Amino acid sequence: MTPSRTRRALDRYSVLFGIAMLAAVLGNPISSVLSSLAEADPAAMGTGMALITLVLAGFLATARARGPVAVSAADASWRLLSPLPRASVLGRTARVLATVAVVAGIALGVALLAVLGAPDHLTWRLLTAVAIGVSLTVGGLAVAVLAQAEQQWNSWLNITLVVLVLLAAVSAGGQGRRVLSTVAAAPPSAGAVVAAVAATAAALLVRQAWSAITRMPARLILAASTRTGNAATAAVSLDPGSLTWIAEDNHWRSRTLKSKPWPRLPAPLALAWQDWRRLAARPALLGLMAGSVALPTLFAQAGAGMVAVLAGALAVAAMGVSGARRDAGNPAMAYLLGVDRRTALAARALLPALLSTLWLGAALVLLSAAGALPGGPWWLFAPAVAPALAAAALRIARRSPVDHAMPVIDTPGGAVPTGPLFWAMTGVDLALVGCAPFVLALVAEPATLTAALVAQAALGAATLGGYLARAR
Amino acid sequence: MTEPIIRVRGLTVEFAGNPVLTGVDLAVAPGEAVAVVGENGTGKSTLLRCLAGLQTATSGTVDVFGAPPADDPPFWRQVALVADEPAWYPGLTTRDHLDMIQTIHPGKSEDSPAPSFTGASGGHDVDTMLEAFGLRDRGDVAPLNLSTGQRQRLTLASAFLRPSRLLLLDEPERGLDAAFRRRLHSMLDAYTTAGGTVVMATHDHTLAAPSTRRITLDAAR
């Protein structure tokens, strides 16, 4: 055997040995987890299906945002613009896409089984669910590839996304509960037929997508590669913060803009005005924010309402701090503008405070209406919490890149790099501290909310004041 | 004799023990234009960063307007720095950026009229700026969709639009065509004639013209 062949054989042996070891170690835990999935909670079926549908929609939207057909910067420079057949240049990309789709599909299938349950024939139903899940993700990714090449398919992808969101809304609303119960109780043979149809449809789409890949114009792949390349650079350097920056640039670069006179405001407000204008120019994002108000009520059914309400309010607040993010990442424009940093930040806190007030207020009203919260004016917490959330959103926007020089701590569960951990917690820490009375009230559910409201209003204002005073 | 607006004495800057600038002395009078020239790596940009208060000196002193440069709003209201390309705000057009800058710096104080690129001491409206910097047809375009040279023009327009008494320019010729470099030289001439001061690091012979004092930096040892 030649040395390279020996090495290849050794590589294969290592991979097979690794898989066998994994199966031996994880076999029992996985089978017990899968057995526990057999029992589904009929009350949570609608919520679960809504979440699965939203995850699938998110998967497809991400695939489209990424390209999905893109190549590395080196391939884009050297191999794409060459006489090499496109199929060979893009072969690796296709394999990566297929792997991602299959892995996502398996996870989706298992989640599907967890939601619908398996009253009998667990193995058979698991295989059916996985087959359906893989067909959905592989077929969906094939549609995303076709959408990259042809406008007509792009329209179909848009329709698919809208249908998925509507299905999620229907499932969450409980209207589809009877249908879901019928599906869950259907015999395994019916599931097999659905899986077979889905797999056939996915196979046809994959065939068409592969044909599109081999004919895809270089300009489309180059455009996607630039997007993915920037994102990959950010991921390689483990600076997730720049991903937001890249996403913003990509969004606005492809849009037709129209100048409007700048309102005559005092300097800090004139600077902060750009965030208001930018958000007003994104009705879809505003619609998404408005729609997501119902998510905490949805998550409350799964026992995660408190986390959803806080995370959602912080996420919404973070939608209004682009200007602060830009100036923190590259202060050249801030030097040119010469506006006092603290007053600029104070002016920039107004929008995230307003956004979180509106969102949290509406979410708390819905939670109260759904009976997930005891009686009382819970919505009053929204304005009380808003300053703390605005400070936290500004802290998130202005955080430094991940510090990889920070130590890695060995724990029984494995090595934990503290750099990314600290980075991820920057901003969230301020939200947790600044919203403590609200969180405690959510946990303790006191008979009267007055004390908690007063404490929250004081702490919220102090959090923002302290953040602005310490801002550098 | 006029008191210098910038005074640098024995400026030394080291990065991780490697000298970048060694014992640099410089005095710049109001209304003067100084071109800092030299090979790559001789510390031209570092000198500008020291003047802007963005780089701490290892030794020596730097005074701008009679005090060490402070990275604070009063300092930046007098000093305009054009170095790396700024981060353009997403969703804002070329005109929006200029409009915003003008709103933040409305007019120019009657008590201390700031010099402008036309030599006059009055402010300029956004249309005049777009016209003067060859961006009239690009007003509704996002800066990221402009060419490299057009973005540099926009950066320069942003610096000239706001009032300043000192312009610090790091390779302002970056991406500019020959005709606009000549125009930029005239603008800088007008700015200094009106009392403004310019210090620029440049490799461009047009900008480092005879009317401009040249300071040549050599590689630090």
| A-interface mutation test, from B51, B96, B102, most A Cβ less than 10 A away | B96
Residue A295 CB partners (closer than 8 Å, separation 6+) = A308, A312, A363
Residue of B nearest to A272 (CA): B100
CA distance A32 to A44: 21
Q: Could you tell me the pLDDT band of residue B137, with boundaries at 50, 70 and 90? A: very high
Of A55-69, A223-237, B21-35, the least confident: A223-237
DSSP state letters, A108-136: HHHHHHHHH--SS-HHHHHHHHHHHHHHH
B45, HSE (Cβ side, Cα atoms, 13 Å): 10
Do A262 and B96 make contact, defined as CB atoms within 8 angstroms?
yes
Token pair for A49: 């299906």
> What letter would DSSP give residue A83?
S
User: Given pLDDT bands bounded at 50, 70 and 90, which one contains residue B109?
Assistant: very low
Task: Give pLDDT, residue A3.
Answer: 64
User: Are B87 and A339 in contact (CB < 8 Å)?
Assistant: no
pLDDT at position A234 is 46
For position A216, what pLDDT does the model report? 75
Residue A393's pLDDT band (cuts 50, 70, 90): very high
* pLDDT at site A238: 44
B142 interaction partners in chain A (CB closer than 8 Å): 252-253, 255, 257
Residue A263, classed as helix, strand or coil, is coil
Give residue B63's pLDDT band: very low, low, confident or very high (50, 70, 90): very high
The answer to whether A191 and A125 are in contact (CB under 8 A) is: yes
CB contact under 8 A, A262 and B100: yes
Give percent of chain A above pLDDT 90: 35
Q: Do A278 and B91 touch (CB under 8 A)?
A: yes
* pLDDT score for A226: 61
Q: What is the DSSP string of chain B?
A: -PPPSEEEEEEEEEETTEEEEEEEEEEE-TT-EEEEE-STTSSHHHHHHHHTT-S--SEEEEEETTB---SSHHHHHHEEEE-SPP-PPTT--HHHHHHHHHHHS-S--SSSPPP-TTS-SS---HHHHHHHTT-GGGTTS-GGGS-HHHHHHHHHHHHHHS--SEEEEESTTTT--HHHHHHHHHHHHHHHHTT-EEEEE---TTTT-TTSEEEE-----
| A229 has pLDDT over 90 | no
Q: Which chain B positions have a beta carbon within 8 Å of A327's beta carbon?
A: 87
Q: Which residues of B touch A252 (CB under 8 A)?
A: 90-91, 142, 144
Closest CA to B85 of A274, A256, A279, A326: A326
B39 Cβ under 8 Å from any chain A Cβ? no
Mean pLDDT of A164-189: 79
How many residues in total does chain A contain?
472
Interface of A with B (CB under 8 A): 248-249, 251-253, 255, 257-265, 267, 270-271, 273-274, 277-278, 281, 322-323, 326-327, 329-330, 332-333, 335-341
pLDDT digit string (tens) for B154-179?
Answer: 999 999 998 899 999 999 999 999 99
Rounded average pLDDT over B49-53? 91
Query: Among residues of chain A, what percentage have pLDDT more than 70?
Result: 87
Comparing CA positions, the residue from A35, A104, A40 lying closest to residue A68 is A104
Tell the residue number behind the tokens 């483990």, with chain if given: A238
Q: pLDDT tens, A36-76?
A: 666 767 777 887 888 888 889 988 988 887 767 776 666 66
pLDDT class of A235 with cuts at 50, 70, 90: very low
pLDDT surpassing 60 at residue A230: no
pTM exceeding the 0.80 threshold for the entire prediction: no
Do the beta carbons of residue A131 and residue A199 sit within 8 Å? yes
**Which residues neighbour A185 within 8 Å (Cβ) at sequence distance 6 or greater?**
A119
- Crossing angle of the two packed helices A436-444 and A381-397, in degrees rounded to 10: 130
> What is the DSSP code (8-state) at residue A174?
T
Q: Please give the pLDDT value at position A249.
A: 76
Which candidate in A245, A249, A259, A319 is best for mutational testing of the B interface (most B CBs within 10 A)? A259
CB of B84 within 8 Å of any CB in chain A? yes
Residues B135-157 have a mean pLDDT of 93
Does B10 score more than 70 pLDDT? yes
Question: Which class for A385: exposed (0-12), middle (13-18), buried (19 or more C-beta within 10 A)?
Answer: buried
Q: Hey, CA dihedral for B188, B189, B195, B201, is it positive or negative?
A: positive
Q: pLDDT band for position A432 (50/70/90)? A: very high
DSSP string, A286-317: HHHHHHGGGHHHHHHTTT-HHHHHHHHHHHHH
CB-CB neighbors (< 8 A) of A333 in chain B = 86-89, 158
Residues A155 and A223 sit within 8 Å (Cβ to Cβ)? no
pLDDT for A377 beyond 70: yes
Beta carbons of A338 and B139 less than 8 Å apart: no
From the list B85, B140, B158, the residue facing A259 with the nearest CB is: B140
Q: Does B101 touch chain A (CB under 8 A)?
A: yes
Report which listed range, A82-91, A397-406, B46-55, is most confident.
B46-55
Those residues whose C-beta lies under 8 Å from the C-beta of residue A329, and which sit 6 or more positions away, are A241, A242, A245, B87
* A67-76, A89-98, A291-300: range with lowest mean pLDDT: A67-76
Q: What is the mean pLDDT of chain A?
A: 84
Q: Is B77 on the interface with A (CB under 8 A)?
A: yes
Helix, strand, or coil (residue A368)? helix
